[in-house]
Amino acid sequence: MASDRIFGLITLITAVAYIAAATQIQTNFFSGEFLPKLFPLLIGGVAAICSLSIIFRADPDPDWPGGPTWISMAIAVVVLAIYAVLLKPLGFIGPTIFAAGILSYQISFRPVASILSGFGLSLGLFVLFKYALGLGNIVAYRIPKEGQLWDALAILIPFVGGH
């Protein structure tokens, strides 16, 4: 029970920090561009509500996952961190294919289906975001300039560089 409450508290602190970071996003309210700020606020709000549910309705005898599950979760976190830093230098489609394919492979160990899922999800989300939702600032692909990829990845490596 204590471990659930500790997890809920850590999640609540993370959600509050996420909401605080989302409030710092600069938007032009008069032009109707409030979605870049609203979406992270909604995600943070849902995470905060879920964490409060975990804190107040903790499982009396929680079963924590075994070692292989923790390894899979660590791989997912690393893949998503790499995805986040590669979006700007490479554009949306390439990093999304990479991340969605790896995460799909973790769910179901079928390589061909995972690759197809990565391509389908990447292209489908690009069309959804760019054309259906009208988020015109999404770039399909970019060819990075020299050193731009290293600068992006260096953010993930402590004491190496980055901004």
Domain coordinates of the chain in residue numbers? 2-56, 67-154
Total-model pTM: 0.68
Nearest Cα to Cα of residue 54 among 22, 91, 84, 12 = 12
154 neighbors 83 (Cβ within 8 angstroms)? no
> What's the CA gap between 121 and 59, in Å, rounded?
35
> What's the token pair of residue 31?
């032009």
Q: How far is CA 70 from CA 5, 77, 147, in A?
A: 19, 11, 33
Nearest Cα to Cα of residue 25 among 38, 14, 10 = 38
> What's the CA gap between 146 and 163, in Å, rounded?
17
| Per-residue pLDDT tens digits of the chain, which is 163 residues long | 688 889 899 999 999 999 998 888 777 656 556 667 788 899 999 999 999 999 999 888 878 889 999 999 999 999 999 999 899 899 999 999 999 999 999 999 999 999 999 999 999 999 998 888 877 778 888 888 888 888 888 887 765 554 5
Alpha helix (H) ranges present in 23-66?
35-56
